[in-house]
Chains A and B, each alone.
Chain A
Amino acid sequence: MKLKHVVPSLAALFSFSVVSLVGQYISLLYGGWTFPVWLFAVIFLVSFESVYFSAFFLSPRTPITVRLLEVGSAVGAVYVIVRLTLSPLAYEWFELSQAIRDPYVILPALLTLAAWFMAGGYGQQFTVIHKLGDQLGDASASTVSWEYESLESRDYGVTMAIEYFFWRLFGYGFLIGVLAIAASRSGVVDDLSRGYRLGLGVLGIGGLSVGLILQGAVYLFRLETIWSYTGTRVSEGFQKDWFKNLAIFVIAVVGIVSIAPVNYSPITYDRLSQWAIGLFQGMDPFTVIEGDFQPESPPHSNEEMVEWGIGEEEPSFWFALVMFLYFLVVVGGIALLVLLAVGFFLVMLAKDELDKLKGMPQLAVRIYRAFTAAVCGGLMALRDLWGRGKNVLRRYTFSPTDTLSAERTHKAGKKRGPSGPVLHIRQMFQRIVRTGREVGIRMGPGQTPQEYGELLREKLPSVNTEIQFFIQSYNEVRYGKRMVEPEWKERVMEQGQEIVRQIKAWGKEEQ
């Protein structure tokens, strides 16, 4: 079994599950649109196409036109199917401006696009993993330790092996969670048929299972790539055993999360919002909760008014969202403050032992250091601003002599760029590079002037000496801070112009 061919299909299945589920929730929340059955097939096919295309054919050299054609054909197919399956629409085929405002067109198209992007992202990531050996560079195989991810030259513990996939699992799960909360609070879920609920459950649990299997398969793919590089002896049937054991694990996890109790929290959003409202009204929230509601009878007092109000009206979704964000900020802020405090004490107490810290204490120290660095940076910026402000004030308040001296000081403090002959030689080099780029002799981002000079000498053997002289002179001027005599500068410039001429001539010959 070639793992490289299997893993993309898992990613496609996961993309299909997530997008389908999101589509289901959107159709629930947006009453004007129903998720059509054919869209399952379209999302399924697009997911598979996108992930396999990205994993096996996509490269940095792939023309953007190909990508546009790919996505255009998927969206176009959706449009055609919508037009064919629905009763005659109020606008013509070519009236795309009308079509993009039609939820029956735009929502399936957006979902298809989402599946395409999601699956494509996974596909590209598989290519990255497959080329992991390139990242290892010339590191000796014996120094590679996959256990600690040293191959990516990152500090131990800073990242997980398949972090990209975990963030996506978390992100998509979170998105579905938010939609589920919205659907639940809007009450649409209560009216659903049992079959529909079952479908949602199957999609959710199926998506979770496929997602976990995808995580495991990707990790195995990554490990196998490293093992093949390091020459590790992998036992026979390892892959089969891995998937068998992974299946056991996933079944266990899915079983646990399926039968685990839900909706038992004593402190829910509803109770908190009641409490908040009670707080704003200067009421005891717990009395409110335990009160005997009689919404039918009209309120006679302020207290009854509050009770009545709470009993009658469910908090809206937006209010829930605001509360949730508020909760997020408060909890996050408190956690950050606690970590900062812990980090401060650890830095003060541990000192030389900081490198030995792991887990949460290490995180606290890092956060503290990042915070102090940010504060220092901010203070430096403020000081700089203060200095500039003072200069401006001096310019207007001091005497002309003082102003002149202040300007001199300001200029002396400023970093000066190249000027005169040095600038001319550097500009000549830039001109050579520019001309070379126009005719196809490009200077790579990692190339040094010397390496570029060697490339030029290969292409233009007739000006071999000139190139060598010019590049050497450029290096001396640019990096050696050589004093430039006028005669020497003239010679360098002449050689440079000759090189430019030869590059242009070479370009014409090539054409």
Chain B
Amino acid sequence: MSVNEEYSEGGVCLALWKFLTVFLVFAALLFETKPVYTLAYTFMVLFFFSRRLQQSCADQLKVVRNASTTHLFPDDQATIEIRLENPSWLPFAWVSGVDGKPTALDGGKRDKWVTALPPRGMATASYQITAANRGVYVLGPLDISVGDFFGITTQSYRVEDYQTVVVYPTVCTLTDLALPSRLPFGHARAQQKIYPDPSRLGGVRPYEPGDPLRSIHWKATARERNLQVKQFEHTVTITTMILLNLDERDYDVHSFYVDTELAITTAASLAAHIIGLGEECGLASNGVFTRHAVDELDDSYRHDGVLRISPRKGYSHLMSIFTALAGVECQSSHGFSELIDDLGRHYSFGSLFLLVVPVDTGAIVDKALNLTKLGYQVQIFVVGTKVIHRHLLQQPAHASLQMFQVKQDTKLNFVQPR
């Protein structure tokens, strides 16, 4: 057992019983009678040998968690399992344990569990946790107590074994965030017909000299008895990057917690929506990871003090984004404008930037306009109650700079990615 601390022993009472045992031994030695010997031996086993034996066997006890990390969405329940192995020949009457639990999980209520351990046997103890709020939490250390059959002695140990619980942010539909459900994400119809997209069939037309042979639609040709060629749509793939502002100086102190959580929920929901459409999505933020998330997340997520996840497709990538968002927190040293400046140079022409901010300050809108001048599309999502540039809320759908105000419905429809 990975023991950090050991406490417990008998007290005055045990000393008294040891004294009585010695007295019995003296009586047995003096009067030489089998019943007195039997009684003396029994008490010696109970108050001397079994205690020592239990102590040494408890040292060999193996306490292992069945998982090192558990991932949950808010309101999900999970079973935490702890495996106990007794390699010794001594049965343990009871082994009880209690896991260190942060208050964010079930209000910090520590569930005690008890199990019996046969000689050279194993047992699994379990208890339930319910995820409430987004975050990366650590369960542990484990306080294990081992007792005998008669309440004579108890040994307690602290096992430095921890389990990380990642609670993803709330993910909801765009409608629940008061956003239009058909935002122009992903592939967009190209204004200049330079890049025909072979995966998007627009229709067929009669063959014209110069058309490549591989574009001939053979089935349509057979049906029409005339050469027909495939007509592809001309599209450009838009890389979408979500930029999340977690500079605490930009948030209103009166609604700090609500606004930051809404910003993270918005970022998570947008990422889920985009990847759900089969498109690429990345995430960048000037937030910092919580202490516990540092171990959980890959180092490659952090660049120069900021969180950056490159755009990719697929749900495994989405889970990485969720994991990062689960453990991210506000900070006060990195400004959001610097983040925009930094990222504006890294992505290709036509990329879409989704800026999730608490307030549309003049500086942010200026930066956004600069991005649009460089050929990027920018959409600003304001999670605070106040919108400064209200005229941007009424921009046409094809405008390169648009703004949306995010309002959280009291009753959200959670979307759980599969």
Given contacts A160-B152, A233-B111, contact A327 B37 (CB under 8 A): no
Contact among B16, B114, B118 with A244 in the assembled complex (CB-CB below 8 Å): B118
Enumerate chain B residues within 8 angstroms of A181, measured Cβ to Cβ: 31, 33, 36
Asked whether B147 is an interface residue with its Cβ less than 8 Å from the other chain, the reply is yes
Cα–Cα, bound, A360→B127 (Å): 39
* B218 is an interface residue with CB less than 8 A from chain A: no
Contact check: which of B9, B24, B46 meets A358 at CB < 8 Å?
Answer: B9
A232 contacts which chain B residues (CB < 8 A)? Answer: 96, 112-114
Distance in angstroms between the alpha carbons of A147 and B156 in the assembled complex? 9
**In whole Å, how far is B52's beta carbon from the nearest beta carbon of chain A?**
13
Instruction: Please measure, in the bound complex, the distance between the C-alpha atom of A155 and the C-alpha atom of B13, giving whole angstroms.
Output: 11
- Knowing A230-B112, A245-B91, A268-B29 touch, does A362 contact B152 (C-beta < 8 A)? no
B30 partner, pick from A241, A269, A359, beta carbons under 8 A: A269
Structural contact, B36 and A238, CB atoms closer than 8 A? no
Partner of B13, one of A159, A208, A222, A335: A159
Judge if B353 is at the interface, Cβ distance under 8 Å.
no
Known: A166-B17, A181-B31, A253-B45. A241 touches B36 (CB 8 A): no
Complex CA gap A110/B94 in Å reads: 41
Size band of the interface chain A makes with B = 35 or more
Chain B residues near A253 (CB-CB < 8 A): 42, 45-46
Q: Is the CB of A177 within 8 A of B33?
A: yes
Q: Which residues of B contact A184 (CB under 8 A)?
A: 31-33
Is B43 interfacial (CB 8 A cutoff)?
A: yes
Interface status of A341 (Cβ within 8 A of chain B): no
Cα A216 to Cα B10 in complex, Å, equals 18
B8 sits at the interface (CB 8 A): yes
The residue on B at minimum CB distance from A200 is B35
Chain B's nearest CB lies how many Å from the CB of A367?
9
State whether A327 and B11 are in contact (beta carbons under 8 Å apart), knowing that A242-B116, A245-B92, A263-B32 are contacts in the complex.
no
Write the nearest CB–CB distance from B19 to chain A, whole angstroms.
7
Query: In the complex, which residue of chain B has the Cβ closest to the Cβ of A176?
Result: B35
Across the interface, do A215 and B149 meet the contact criterion of CB distance under 8 Å?
A: yes
- Is B119 in contact with A272, judged by CB distance below 8 angstroms? no
A234 at the interface (CB under 8 A from B): yes
Q: Which of A29-37, A254-262, A391-399 contacts B (4 or more CB under 8 A)?
A: A254-262
Assess A265 versus B32: contact at CB under 8 Å? Given A232-B112, A233-B113: yes
Kindly report which residue of chain B lies nearest to residue A258, judged by CB atoms: B38
Are A324 and B31 in contact, with the CB atoms below 8 A?
Answer: yes
B64 at the interface (CB under 8 A from A): no
Cβ–Cβ < 8 Å partners of B23 in chain A: 328, 331
Residue A289 at the B interface, CB < 8 A? no
How many angstroms between the C-alpha atoms of A263 and B30 in the bound complex? 9
In the bound complex, do residue A215 and residue B37 qualify as a contact, i.e. CB atoms below 8 Å apart?
Answer: no
Is B27 part of the binding interface, using a Cβ–Cβ cutoff of 8 Å?
A: yes
Bound together, the chains give a CA A439 to CA B93 distance in angstroms of 55
Q: Is A489 an interface residue (CB 8 A)?
A: no
Residues 271-299 of A contacting B (Cβ, < 8 Å): 272
Instruction: Please name all residues of chain A whose beta carbon is closer than 8 Å to the beta carbon of B12 when the two chains form the complex.
Output: 157-158, 359, 362-363, 366
Question: Does B391 sit within 8 A of A, measured CB to CB?
Answer: no
- A180 touches which one: B36, B92, B114, B123 (CB < 8 A)? B36
* Known A219-B150, A260-B41: A363·B109 in contact at CB below 8 Å: no
Instruction: Decide if A160 touches B9 in the complex (CB within 8 Å).
Output: no
Q: Looking at chain B, what size class is its interface with the partner chain?
A: 35 or more
Q: Does B257 contact A (CB under 8 A)?
A: no
Instruction: Look across to chain A and name the residue whose beta carbon is closest to the beta carbon of B30.
Output: A269
B151 CB-CB contact with A under 8 Å: yes
Contact for B9 among A328, A359, A366, CB less than 8 A:
A359
Which of A177, A227, A245, A328 touches B118 (beta carbons < 8 Å)? A245
Cα distance, A156 to B127, chains bound together (Å)? 29
B110 within 8 A of A: yes
* Cα A155 to Cα B28 with chains together (Å): 33
A223: contacting residue among B8, B32, B38, B94, CB under 8 A: B94
Which residues of B sit under 8 angstroms from A174, Cβ to Cβ? 24, 39
B47 → chain A closest CB, angstroms: 10
User: CB-CB contacts of B330-353 with A at 8 A, as 1s and 0s?
Assistant: 000000000000000000000000
Contact with A along B300-326 (1 / 0, CB 8 A): 000000000000000000000000000
CB distance from B96 to the nearest CB of A (A): 7
The reply to whether B39 and A235 form a contact with Cβ atoms under 8 Å apart is no
Query: B112 touches which one: A162, A233, A263, A265 (CB < 8 A)?
Result: A233
**Within the assembled complex, what's the spacing in Å between the Cα atoms of A155 and B114?**
24
Q: How far is the CB of B81 from chain A (nearest CB, A)?
A: 12
Write the chain B residue with the least CB distance to A230.
B112
The majority secondary structure among interface residues of chain A is helix
Q: Does A163 contact B (CB under 8 A)?
A: yes
A348 in the interface (beta carbon within 8 A):
no
User: Which residues of A have CB within 8 Å of B13?
Assistant: 157-160, 163
Q: Which residues of A contact B117 (CB under 8 A)?
A: 245
Q: Which residues of the other chain, B, contact A331 by a CB distance below 8 angstroms?
A: 23, 26
- CB pair A363–B114 under 8 Å, yes or no, is no
Q: How far is the CB of B22 from chain A (nearest CB, A)?
A: 9
Residue among B14, B46, B96 making CB contact with A157, cutoff 8 Å: B14
The answer to whether B150 touches A157, judged by C-beta atoms less than 8 angstroms apart, is no
Which residues from B are CB-within-8-Å of A223?
94, 114
B15 within 8 Å of A by Cβ? yes
Whether B145 is near chain A, meaning CB under 8 Å from some CB there, is yes
Q: In the assembled complex, which residues on chain B have CB atoms less than 8 Å from the CB atom of A170?
A: 20, 43
| Chain B residues positioned under 8 Å from A263 (CB to CB) | 32, 34, 37
A249: interface (CB < 8 Å): yes
> Cβ of A362 and Cβ of B15 under 8 Å apart?
yes
Question: How many whole Å from B21's CB to the nearest CB in chain A?
Answer: 9
Within 8 A of B (CB), among A343-390: 358-360, 362-363, 366
Decide if A359 touches B15 in the complex (CB within 8 Å): yes
Instruction: Decide yes or no whether B125 CB sits under 8 A from chain A.
Output: yes
CA distance A265 to B32 in the complex (A): 7
Nearest Cβ distance between residue B194 and chain A, in whole angstroms?
A: 66
- Residue B130 CB within 8 A of the other chain: no
What is the bound-complex CA distance between A320 and B30, given in angstroms?
Answer: 10
Q: At the interface, yes or no: B175 with Cβ under 8 Å from chain A?
A: no
Q: Are A177 and B42 in contact (CB under 8 A)?
A: no
Q: Within 8 Å CB of A216, what residues of B? A: 93, 149-150
Chain B residue nearest to A252 in the complex (CB): B45
Q: How far is the CA of A227 from the CA of B123 in the complex (A)?
A: 19
Task: Give the docked Cα–Cα distance between A43 and B411 (Å).
Answer: 71
Chain A: CB-nearest residue to B126: A233
| B289 CB, min distance to chain A CBs, angstroms | 32
Give Cα A216 to B116, complex, Å: 13
Q: How far is the CB of B28 from chain A (nearest CB, A)?
A: 8
In the complex, the answer to whether A320 meets B31 with C-beta atoms within 8 Å is: yes
Taking the complex as formed, is A204 at the interface, i.e. its CB lies under 8 A from any CB of chain B? yes
CA A292 – CA B191 in complex, angstroms? Answer: 129
**CA–CA, A505 and B14, complex, Å:** 60
CA distance A1 to B184 in the complex (A): 66
A173 within 8 A of B: yes
Q: Give the residues in chain A near B116, CB-CB below 8 Å.
A: 235, 238, 241-242, 245
Would B42 and A257 count as touching, CB distance under 8 A? yes
Please provide the 5 A-B residue pairs with the shortest distance between their CB atoms, ordered closest to farther: A157-B11, A161-B151, A245-B91, A241-B116, A265-B29
18 residue pairs bridging A and B, Cβ less than 8 Å apart: A147-B147, A156-B11, A157-B9, A157-B12, A158-B12, A160-B151, A174-B24, A174-B39, A177-B27, A184-B31, A215-B149, A242-B94, A245-B91, A246-B91, A248-B91, A359-B11, A359-B15, A362-B12
Chain A contacts to B: CB under 8 angstroms: 142, 147-148, 155-163, 166, 170, 173-174, 176-177, 180-181, 184-185, 204-205, 208, 212, 215-216, 219-220, 222-223, 227, 230-235, 238, 241-242, 244-246, 248-249, 253, 256-258, 260, 262-263, 265, 267-269, 272, 320, 324, 327-328, 331, 335, 358-360, 362-363, 366
List residues of chain B with CB under 8 Å of any chain A CB: 8-20, 23-24, 26-39, 41-43, 45-46, 50, 91-94, 96, 109-119, 123, 125-127, 145, 147, 149-152, 154, 156
Given contacts A157-B10, A359-B9, 6 further A-B contacts (CB under 8 A): A177-B33, A204-B38, A216-B149, A232-B96, A257-B42, A258-B38
